[in-house]
Amino acid sequence: MRFTSTRGGDIATFNDAVIKGLAGDGGLFVPETLPDIRTYFRRWQGLPYTELAYSFLALFADDIPENELRYCIENAYSAFPNPETPSPLVKLSDDLHVLELFHGPTLAFKDFALQLLGQLYGRHIRNSRHSINILGATSGDTGSAAIHGMLKQPNAHCFILYPEGRIAELQERQIACTGSAFVHPFAIHGSFDDAQNIVKQIFGDAAFSSACSLTAVNSINIARILAQCIYYLDIVLKLDASEANPLEFVVPSGNFGNVLAGWMLSRMGIEGIRFCVATNVNAVVSDFFSTGEYCPGKVIPSYAPSMDIQQASNFERWLWWHFNGDSVRVRDVMTTLRREGKFVLNKTSANNDIIRATSCNDAEIKASIERIWREKNYLADPHTACAFSAVRENVRSVVLATAHPAKFPEIISSVTGECPEHHSLEALKHRAVVKQVMPADVETVKKAIADILN
């Protein structure tokens, strides 16, 4: 299978797209065509998760030998307590289930993709005998998941940018308390969007990124999106979605990658699934699906810090499919966004899909945490609470629980009186935080990277 840039200027195999991360023209890699997977359903029914993951990914990673792809998948999910059921489905009522995606090593849904991505990087290092270095930005959970996925790979440095003072304390400790000489947390004075823009600018400097052997670990990497398709597929096979019996996935959303993965699956012949994009007060994506206007503003800190994002980078992939693969239109829209700070599509066009969207302010997040605890005896972290607030009555729904509640004990304790804990997080409280604090300036970050590698 070939992968193309959303902006039309780059073609790659799966492995090349994974290693490059960002396309050479600044676009994001997408499969040139998506397979119709309905013919595989009978064969896939009841498969263990790792076998389902292999069967699905083999459709895209056809340039990787079967034994090597299986090795990567098995090692990726061996990091979960139960590799064959890494995402438990919890039934709260006949119409409401919770898909718990927080049982990986860093207690967040990012582990599903980044454990696999780390294995794919490790395969490349072994086969090419050439080390690579990871560069990424995080709004909270991506950084620690990326680091944990790469810790066992030889001589691979991890440079993780995050907004100083704008992620939860335990999220920062997961990034900055590893004790590894190959992990480099860069706390920048700014927002996640500032960090993400710095990463994109660095990859835009081909000479620098090549000289430093940098590759992208953010959700701009297509392997991350494909890995996240699998847990949606697993649930569709278990709950039997159809046009006559539809199922709505309610997804906490910041960078739009998680919901995009499910939406991509719907374009592979899967009927009967719908999506709700549940944002926090940074509602740029929610506003778009309501009005047709995409207008990023200033990031507003919230109780759900991993969603404190105004520039959802994966939205460019949605545009490419929305425009039926017309890369010229994608380039025009992205140019307009860069030049004018916004773009507008026809409202009917924006709404003519299987996606609806909601937003949730801090007061509503607290109310949602309290309500779901009182009514269902279920502890939800602030991001998952945004999704619970968007659930509709009498609609078959699956809420994606994206982070363990123990990562946000203060707000949960203040609302419910319960103080969730996890042994891996408790251990971090006794370690020193090691980080570099710097301005949100691309040249400063590039110098810090070069100094470490040289």
Task: For residue 373, tell me if it sits in a domain.
Answer: yes
What strands lie across the sheet with 247-252, from one edge to the other? 89-93, 96-100, 397-401, 247-252, 273-279, 355-359
CB atoms within 10 A of CB 424: 14
Burial of 261 (0-12, 13-18, 19+ CB in 10 A): buried
Chain position carrying tokens 């895209």 = 60
Q: How far is residue 181 from each of residues 151, 313, 406, 431, 453, measured CA to CA in Å?
A: 10, 30, 27, 15, 12
Q: Which two tokens stand for residue 212?
A: 């430093």
CB atoms within 10 A of CB 193: 24
pLDDT tens digits, the chain, 454 residues: what are they? 999 999 998 999 999 999 888 888 889 999 999 999 999 999 999 999 999 999 999 999 999 999 999 999 999 999 999 999 999 999 999 999 999 999 999 999 999 999 999 999 999 999 988 888 999 998 888 889 989 989 888 889 999 999 999 999 999 999 999 999 999 999 999 998 899 899 989 988 989 999 999 987 766 889 999 999 999 999 999 998 888 789 999 999 988 999 999 999 999 999 899 999 999 999 999 999 888 999 999 999 999 998 998 888 899 999 999 999 999 999 999 999 999 999 998 766 555 568 999 999 999 999 999 999 999 999 999 999 999 999 999 999 999 999 999 999 999 999 999 999 999 999 999 999 999 999 999 999 999 999 999 8
Quick one: residue 85, left, alpha or beta (phi over 0 = left, psi -120 to 50 = alpha)? beta
Task: For residue 147, tell me if it sits in a domain.
Answer: no
Task: For residue 37, tell me if it sits in a domain.
Answer: no
DSSP secondary structure, 147-198, as one string: HHHHTTSTT--EEEEEETT-S-HHHHHHHH----TTEEEEEEES-HHHHHHH
Beta strands at 355-359 and 273-279: parallel, antiparallel or unpaired: parallel
Per the structure, the count of domains in the chain is 1
Closest among 200, 297, 193 to 255, alpha carbons compared: 193
- Predicted confidence at residue 348, as pLDDT, reads 61
Task: For residue 386, tell me if it sits in a domain.
Answer: yes
- Predicted confidence at residue 347, as pLDDT, reads 64
**For residues 368 and 388, what is the distance between their CA atoms, to the nearest angstrom?**
7
Task: For residue 10, tell me if it sits in a domain.
Answer: no
Closest among 244, 242, 250 to 270, alpha carbons compared: 242
Three-class DSSP category at 98: strand
- Predicted confidence at residue 235, as pLDDT, reads 96
- Predicted confidence at residue 351, as pLDDT, reads 57
Helix (H) or strand (E) holding 386: helix 382-388
pTM: 0.92
SS3 for 7-29 is CCCCEECHHHHHHHCECCCCCEE
CATH classification at residue 322: 3.40.50.1100
- Predicted confidence at residue 311, as pLDDT, reads 85
- Predicted confidence at residue 362, as pLDDT, reads 97
- Predicted confidence at residue 21, as pLDDT, reads 85
Task: For residue 94, tell me if it sits in a domain.
Answer: yes
Burial of 381 (0-12, 13-18, 19+ CB in 10 A): buried
- Predicted confidence at residue 352, as pLDDT, reads 58
CB atoms within 10 A of CB 30: 22
Task: For residue 20, tell me if it sits in a domain.
Answer: no
Rounded-to-10 torsion of CA 285, 291, 297, 299:
-40
Q: Give the angle subtended at the CA of 161 by the CAs of 74 and 191, to the nearest 5°.
A: 125
Domain that holds residue 322: 89-106+222-420
Task: For residue 330, tell me if it sits in a domain.
Answer: yes
Closest among 57, 402, 12 to 215, alpha carbons compared: 12
Residues annotated as catalytic (active site), given as ranges: 110
- 397 forms beta bridges with 96, 248
